[in-house]
Amino acid sequence: MATLINEALVSDLEVLRKKIAIRKIQGWSIIVAGVIIIVVASMFEQPIIAIIGALSLIPGIVILIKIGSETTVYKNRFKNEIIGATLSNIDPSLTLAPTNGIQEEEFIYTQLFTKEPDSYKTEDLISGKHDKTSFYFAEVHAQYKTQSQTKNGTKTEWHDIFKGIIFSADFNKHFNGTTVIRPKDLSSSIGAWFSKNIFSFGDKDLIELESEYFNKNFVTYSTDQVEGRYILTPAMMEKIAELNERSHYSISLSFINANMYIAFPLDQNYFEAPIFSSLLRPDFLSDDIAILQFMFNIATELDLNTRIWTKQ
Amino acid sequence: MIIVSIIAIAVLIFGISIYNSLISKKNQVTNAFSAIDVMLKKRFDLLPNLVEIAKQYMAYEEHTLTNITALRTKALDPNATEGDKLSLDQQISTAVSGLMVSVENYPDLKANDNFLNLQRTWTESEEQIAAARRNYNATVTSYNNAVMMFPSNMFAGMLGYVPVSVLATTDEERKNISAKDLFNK
């Protein structure tokens, strides 16, 4: 697919990338050399040499500041022109809004996660339509913090709630309640055991489904037991299981207010311009294309274009 | 003395919890069946309109349409038991499936918006009934487990609770819904 992108554009951006990479290396080399001079001079009690070392930091910082604005231009052009062209190659309906994302309110509203974030970042909102199914997805990084008292004061630690892509699509059936599917962990397994065995202490919204795979890997909740099963037909459960198997980490899903949401935890930050690796490599976009194609195909994977029910 | 009291209270709470759980599971079985009943009623209510529209176009399917109307009348009989209703629903489903196949021979009917809408609603009700049946079976399984497993079986014996049969899986529940098959496009 990379070959379908305008070669002149790639060459143009590659020139800019090389310039930025060289300047960054120059800037950081000067700074590192300056720091070494300061440290060594301090060890041998040579204040004049230490001052020279400190002064030598200035050109390094100036180089990095000057290249900063060009880096922003390069990154924006990469997203708008390279990723934009890649999206058009996959499907003309796909659009990218690099600075937009899935807002924190919507993230909480999806009920995909039980914790509310203390720090929330989102970017690269991609929207489109696959046949009859409208969808959008964006990168999200949500964290919560814990604070503990130590002898040196309060220690704050940050923990990931989620890092990856949240996908949302218009679901092909009408429903009124909320159905949530989360990966099975220790606390949800204990909750499920209580619900199954000692009902009075358990969660009334828990659904015990027929699929062995589902009960082994997920905990499913629904505000309406019949509606939950109406959404999660045996065929749909099979498809979700296949999707989960193809994902590196276990996915979470929710069905709320006519939409379905899927959270795909990922390690990588996608759609970012490389600085220290060449744009001329034939595979420089392969990871981005693979993830875009994967997201675009969800509608067919989950059969969301089958509109044989009253919702069209 | 305090330890004995704590143990006694814990045992009492545990006993009450199991007792309440059993009653709750029994009530859930009744509710789950009511859910099927509501869905069946909803589906039976679609039939008059379906027959009415089909009649205007399907001159050669008179017998099938009369049969569907007769089955609906039987299903809505206040004296019909839940078992009767489920059995009649099966017969109605078979008859309507046959009718949907015959629609291929009537292009005007196939193009009728009202009919298409009814066909979609019918398909939707079929999946809703399948979901309600699956919910009933899950509820019955949970209830049966409580009735048969220790220690809740002791309370079940005292209350006279006995295991309940699950519903047989229908073809609709087994097969994957295929738009192609349903709409013959």
Which pLDDT belongs to residue A4?
65
| Of the candidate ranges A52-66, A108-122, B57-71, B164-178, the one whose mean pLDDT is the lowest | B164-178
The Cα A295–Cα A246 span in angstroms is 12
Q: What is the pLDDT of residue A127?
A: 97
CA distance B73 to chain A (A): 26
**Six-digit token string for B2:** 């305090």
Q: What is the pLDDT of residue B21?
A: 86
Q: Phi and psi (nearest 5°) for A8?
A: -65, -40
Q: What is the pLDDT of residues B151-163, one digit of tens each?
A: 888 888 888 899 9
Angstrom distances, CA of residue A16 to CA of A71, A282, A288: 9, 18, 21
- Quickly state the pLDDT bin for B184 (edges 50, 70, 90): very low
Q: What is the reported pLDDT for A47?
A: 87
Confidence category of residue A262, pLDDT binned at 50, 70, 90: very high
pLDDT at A1 over 60: no
- Contact B27/A at CB under 8 A: no
Distance to chain A for B132, nearest Cα, Å = 5
ipTM over 0.90: no
Is residue A2 scored above 50 in pLDDT?
A: no
Is the model's pLDDT at A104 over the cut of 70?
yes
A223 contacts in chain B (CB < 8 Å): none
Q: Determine, for residues A230 and B128 on separate chains, whether the beta-carbon distance falls below 8 Å.
A: yes
Residue A222 has pLDDT above 60, yes or no: yes
Cβ proximity of A95 and A128 under 8 Å:
yes
Q: Rounded to whole angstroms, how far apart are CA atoms A141 and A160?
A: 8
Residue B70: CB atoms within 10 Å:
12
Delimit the domains of chain A by residue range.
2-90, 96-301
Instruction: Kindly determine whether residue B124 and residue A201, on different chains, have CB atoms separated by under 8 Å.
Output: no
* CATH code: domain of residue B31: 1.20.1440.20
Radius of gyration of chain B (CA): 23
The predicted structure's pLDDT at residue B143: 92
Q: Is A307 at the interface with chain B, CB within 8 A?
A: yes
Counting the structural domains of chain B, the total is 1
For residue B114, which amino acid is it?
N
Which chain B residue's Cα is nearest to A225?
A: B135
Q: What is the pLDDT of residues A158-188, one digit of tens each?
A: 999 999 999 999 999 999 999 999 998 877 6
**What band does A66 get if pLDDT is binned at 50, 70 and 90?**
very high
What is the pTM (predicted TM-score) of this model? 0.83
Give the H/E segment covering residue A121: strand A119-130
Query: In DSSP terms, which residues pair with A256 in a beta bridge?
Result: A178, A259
Asked whether residue A305 carries a pLDDT value surpassing 70, the answer given is: yes
How many Å lie between the alpha carbon of A234 and the closest alpha carbon of chain B? Answer: 8
pLDDT at A202 over 60: no
Per-position b or e across B34-56, b if 16+ CB within 10 A of its CB: ebbeebbeebbebbeebbebbee
Question: Rounded to a whole number, what is the distance in Å from the CA of A199 to chain B's nearest CA?
Answer: 5
Contacts of A198 in chain B (CB under 8 A): 17-18, 21
A-B Cβ pairs (cutoff 8 Å, strict): 70
Nearest to B177 among A207, A225, A308 (CB): A308
B134, A306: Cβ pair inside 8 Å? no
Q: Is B125 on the interface with A (CB under 8 A)?
A: no
Closest residue, chain B, to A228 (C-alpha):
B131
A247: Cβ contacts below 8 Å, ≥ 6 apart? A264
Q: Give how far the C-alpha of residue A159 lies from the chain's centroid of Cα atoms, to the nearest Å.
A: 16
Q: Measured between CA atoms, how close is B29 to chain A, in angstroms? A: 12
- pLDDT confidence of residue B170: 59
Closest CA to A64 of A15, A33, A22, A17: A22
Domain extent, residue B58, equals 2-183
Chain centroid to CA B8: how far?
44
Task: Sort out which chain B residues have CB atoms less than 8 A from A175's CB and list them.
Answer: none
Check residue B58 and give its pLDDT.
80
Average pLDDT, chain A: 90
pLDDT tens-digit map of A278-287: 998 888 899 9
